[in-house]
Structure 1
Amino acid sequence: MAWNVFKFCTALRALGSVIIVFVLGIVSLTYYVVVLADYGPSLFLGGLDSLLSLLVLPLFHSLLVMLLWSYFSVVLTDPGGVPPNWRPVTDEERGEADSLVESEYNGSDLASNRLDDLDHQRVRFCQKCNQFKPPRCHHCSVCGRCILKMDHHCVWVVNCVGAFNYKYFLLFLFYTFLETTVVTLSLLPYFIAFFTEGEIPGTPGTLAATFITFILNFAFALSVMGFLIMHLSLVGANTTTIEAYEKKTTPKWHYDLGRSINFEQVFGTDKRYWFIPAYSEEDLRRIPALQGLEYPTKPELNALRPL
């Protein structure tokens, strides 16, 4: 008998509040160690210690604000659902919409999600939601609905990562990497002092908290760096984690319009908004991809589409 991993979806939803509390717990511990225990008191010692604190504390607080802003933007932003009664756009030249493929209408959801160069224009139907599926849309078994341009369901943000919050997720990874790197480097002298004869100020509890915080932030910095590199490569190819897996045998990807345009379809064209979890009104109006329903494709690949 096959093992149904989706039976744990309810448990994942129930863990949502626990995960958020865990993330905030790590942030609180880090704040206590860096600001209250180590670099805060050093600010009033004078000399090199004060200078170092003046460098670390503003940078730490700035990155922390952006990290939390990005994190809660991912958590609280709907990733994008299919609008009620959404129907495929009719092909005006042919006078009708593309016909449903039998395997997509009557087959499994996994079969309906398979992609290739010629399949991307066919109408897809989700049996679980009993509705048509826009391009690049996938059904999430944890959320129990179809998500526009779904990348994955992330337990750390207790939400799906899709068309409307993918940029926020990337910024969360970016600022988490910067913040954990800053914390790791700032606590490195204290960590080294544990294994040397150097004198470390503080109580035993403070020293233990500093040691744990260093280990946690170092581990997160390394792991988040890997995820960040992976997702930046996906952005450069204008694909998602799910699509990267599904098109592994496909040599050409019809949504890859070049790195510059691919980047703009996620971050927008207004540079003032690139590093904050928000979009300009003009970008939302001008870039259809940010609405999650329409995505431009390569004209030369569209020409391969059978009539």
Structure 2
Amino acid sequence: MAWNVFRFCTGLRIVGSIMIVVVLAIVAVSYYAVVIASYIPQLLGPAASFHDIILALLVLLLFHALLFMLLWCYFSVVLTDPGSVPQAWSPAMDEDLEAEAVPLASAVQPGLGINLPTSLVHSLPHNSKVRFCKKCNHFKPPRCHHCSVCGRCILKMDHHCVWVVNCVGARNYKYFLLFLFYTFLETTLVTLALLPHFIAFFTDVEEDSGSPGKLAATFLGFVLNLAFALSVLGFLIMHASLVAGNSTTIEAYEKKVSAKWKYDLGRKRNFEQVFGARKSYWLIPSYAEEDMRRLPALHGLDFPCKPDVGGDEL
């Protein structure tokens, strides 16, 4: 018997729940190291100079502002449904399949285990418009994929992320990107803010720098934030290229993206299909109502294509 790795996918849900605790623990360590152990004492210290006070205020204000945005975006990703296939949804059919598939579309209900006609089963995977998920027992919209961890089809699925205990798809991809963006800014700020204390940790410049607990938190906070800043930067660069080409991680992995990728409408329109057209909403995990009405791609069911480019659907 072949070993099926997907049998263990449900275990990733438990891992994901643990990862939320890990994220909050890293935030707590960083908060203690920057605010409590370092810059509050610098701000309130009796020997603090004007320069020290201004620097401490600037670091504390930026730290709390970025932390607020980071947590807002993070929990938006965690709590927002990435998008699932509506029960009544059915695709536009080719004429040669319409007579056979349309009656099926009206009969299929999730979980009923309806057997597909043999001719349709063999036709669907190779048809550019009609796709069917045998696990969920319903038709699949364009760019939709089945997640073995969530156990359902996800609209414009990018990947399943254990860090957010959720899939990243059409309706929370922007929130995920903003989470990466604010995480990079926050971890970079913490790294730079703790760098002088980290250097002093090894040079013994500050003999009365604090208790062993504060020193340990400062050391750990610097190392963790430096590591996350470097790793998140790589993810940001990768996803920036995906947004610019209007593709997902799955589509890039399956090597379906090329110079003639049919969803690539130009960088500006590609960007708007993720972040919307209203500039005032680009940096917050929300969409303008006007964008939700005007841009169907934000809902994950219908995507404009280049008129002169074909290609197989994923």
When the two structures are superposed, what TM-score results if normalisation uses the length of structure 1? Answer: 0.89
Does the CA contact (< 8 Å) of 1:123 and 1:133 recur in 2? yes
Change in 2 beyond 3 A, CA 1:249/1:282: closer
Question: Structure 1, residues 195-247: CA drift from partner, whole Å, max 9, x if none?
Answer: 21311511011101100010000000000000011001000000000001123
Change in 2 beyond 3 A, CA 1:121/1:278: same
> What are the equivalent positions in structure 2 for 1:10-159 lying under 5 Å apart?
10-45=10-45, 46-47=48-49, 48-90=51-93, 97=98, 105-106=121-122, 112=125, 121-159=128-166
Question: Structure 1, residues 101-143: CA drift from partner, whole Å, max 9, x if none?
Answer: 9898359xxx94xxxxxx6732000000000000000000000
Question: Structure 1, residues 25-63: CA drift from partner, whole Å, max 9, x if none?
Answer: 111111111111111111123312212101100000000
Could you say what secondary structure the match of 1:253 adopts?
coil
Change in 2 beyond 3 A, CA 1:203/1:3: same
> What are the equivalent positions in structure 2 for 1:1-307 lying under 5 Å apart?
2-45=2-45, 46-47=48-49, 48-90=51-93, 97=98, 105-106=121-122, 112=125, 121-199=128-206, 201-248=209-256, 250-302=258-310
Query: Which amino acid in 1 is paired with 2:246?
Result: N
Tell me how large the CA RMSD over aligned residues is.
2.4
Alpha-carbon distance, 1:96 to partner: 7.2
Deviates more, 1:199-208 or 1:244-253: 244-253
Residues paired across the two proteins, number? 293
Does the CA contact (< 8 Å) of 2:82 and 2:167 recur in 1? yes
Which residue of structure 2 lines up, in the alignment, with residue 115 of structure 1?
Answer: none
Query: Which amino acid in 2 is paired with 1:162?
Result: G
Could you say what secondary structure the match of 1:173 adopts?
helix
| Distance in 1 of aligned mates of 2:140 and 2:300 | 11
Query: Which amino acid in 2 is paired with 1:301?
Result: V
Change in 2 beyond 3 A, CA 1:249/1:53: closer
Does the CA contact (< 8 Å) of 1:99 and 1:122 recur in 2? no
Could you say what secondary structure the match of 1:278 adopts?
coil
Alpha-carbon distance, 1:20 to partner: 0.9
Change in 2 beyond 3 A, CA 1:52/1:168: same
Deviates more, 1:156-165 or 1:250-259: 250-259
Alpha-carbon distance, 1:85 to partner: 2.6
Could you say what secondary structure the match of 2:160 adopts?
strand
Alpha-carbon distance, 1:16 to partner: 2.9
| Percentage of pairs with the same residue | 67
- Which 5+ residue runs of structure 1 have no aligned equivalent? 113-118
Deviates more, 1:239-248 or 1:272-281: 239-248
Could you say what secondary structure the match of 2:205 adopts?
coil
